[in-house]
A and B are shown apart, each in its own frame.
Chain A
Amino acid sequence: MQWLDALVQGLLLGGLYAQYALGMALMFGVMRIVNTAHGDLVILLALIGVSAATTFALGASAVLALLIPIAVLLGWLLQRLVLNRVLSADPLPSLIATYGLSIALQNLMLELWSADSRSLSGGGIEADSFAVGPIFIGVLPVLIFLAATVMSAGVDATLRFTRFGRSLRAAASDAEAASLTGVNPKRVYAMATALAVGMLGVAAVCQALRATVSPADGPAQLIFAFEAVIIGGMGSAWGAFLGAMVLGVAQSIGFRIDAGWGVLSGHLVFLAMLAIRPTGLFARRA
């Protein structure tokens, strides 16, 4: 039963990772940019949320409602001010620019919030659980998982069926041809980044409720998002979702074997995936 429990907890953990991975899949699939500050943005949003909650005595839902618009704005600004200047076939400038941004953000957060860990209070929901057979499942992880499912379905549907999704896919395929077809690539990219970071607003609340956040946590989240996207296969919302599941399960099982092996197991599964099936489980062209 310990293994079934590990599996279930792993899947639920994957729900949180999926929320990080979706935004990264969107940004890389569309713009071929990896935002090295991706994880730091989540932490920043989470810290803002925690501070707002304590200063204004807000509940988790209010924090969520507050953070999503902030996140969308952050994403839009990021694209317009930074990323639009580094869109090119050469990956170096965007990587370096976002790396510099990551360092600056981490240390800025350290200055503003100190290194203490913080978390968000959900009014008890963090402790609620229910039994399914021999296993106890937390209510919060299930909610996070459901949110991730909804978000993945939403992103997938947006890409497939909406005007915005089509123009995004067109710009990802051939930016110049898209502009000749009337698409304004920079505007479309800004909206994509706004969407990607907007989803991080949800992830920030989930992370802060489920665990603690501190300024240095960003890089770890970045790596988990990245591993999920690679395992699942690039360019696909459901790929990112399922990759996150695999990562969560790998970490969960590794943790059961030895407490120090949780994260390492995830890394090893990721490396194994690179060796065996480098295009990922659900490779699809962006």
Chain B
Amino acid sequence: MTPAASGPLIETRGLDARYGDFQALFDVNFEIAAGEVVALIGANGAGKSTLLRCLAGLLAVPPGTVCLAGQPVGGSAPHEMVRRGLALVPEGRRLFVGMSVEDNLRVAIDQARLLKVVSGADPWTLERVQALFPILKAKRRAAVESLSGGQQQMVAIARALLLQPRLLLCDELSLGLAPLVVREIYAVLPGIAAAGTAIVLVEQDVGLAKTASTRLYCMLEGRITLSGRSADITREQIAEAYFGAGHHAMA
């Protein structure tokens, strides 16, 4: 393991991805360095979730197309990627229904220990995530299906953090949540990044994505159409990359 971040933490090179006959990604080159927060925006069906799934090991891709710290890991099994320090907060939360909040978190704690995931100096513990999201302690015995959408999102994020990830992939955290709750959740992200975890944010809300990230990529129909520093990119550039050439102006 190289001590200094001399290259990207994870990168894709010419990544193609298919669902059966349908090609979802075309020659995607994506990278993120340790501790960065990178946003991934685009319309529905652009391929954002597909890219995350490729990174997490849910889609079979050639090994060389996805590299983690220089090692080819494309197509590895998801639990293998967890062992290597990657965690995905899936779209729609995907909590373990029928189990309590604490049990949901314990699964992550168990597996992190079992897989011997190498954690940093200050590992995520049950107490630390409960400090981050106090609701997790208050409702620890409640069945997850009884929680509100925002609370479930907190459980999902905590569950991913407890895997001690070097790279946290967040797929549409704001989906279906009230703006106040979204703000509450996004408020904790800088702290997570500061602790050394790189974060990829897939977001529908372009404004939120811009302010929460240092760099962003925009995708359209399976291709990267724009990339750059979030602060430098203009609305016009985003609109063009988001909707494609020949779009008409909107508000």
Binding site for B on A (CB under 8 A): 163, 166-167, 169-170, 173-174, 176-184, 285-286
Contact = CB atoms under 8 A, between A and B. Distances in A.
B101 interface: no
B38 to A, nearest CB: 20
Contacts of A182: 79, 82-83, 107-108, 111-112, 114-115, 117, 163
Given A285-B97, A285-B98, A176 B79 contact: no
B77 A167 contact: no
Contacts of A170: 96, 99, 104, 107
Given A179-B77, A180-B78, A174 B94 contact: yes
Contacts of A166: 99, 103, 106-107, 110
A177 B90 contact: yes
A179 B78 contact: yes
Interface string B188-229: 000000000000000000000000000000000000000000
B166 interface: no
Given A173-B96, A174-B97, A184 B77 contact: yes
B48 interface: no
B95 A177 contact: yes
Interface residues of B, number: 29
Interface in B86-142: 87-88, 90, 94-99, 103-104, 106-108, 110-112, 114-115, 117
14 contacts: A166-B110, A167-B110, A169-B103, A170-B96, A176-B78, A178-B96, A180-B90, A181-B108, A181-B159, A182-B107, A182-B112, A183-B79, A184-B77, A286-B98
Given A181-B163, A182-B163, A173 B97 contact: yes
Nearest to B115: A182
B4 to A, nearest CB: 28
A179 B98 contact: no
Contacts of B97: 173-174, 285
Contacts of B107: 166-167, 170, 178, 181-183
Given A180-B78, A184-B79, A173 B99 contact: yes
Contacts of A173: 96-99
B58 interface: yes
B46 interface: no
A173 B115 CA distance: 21
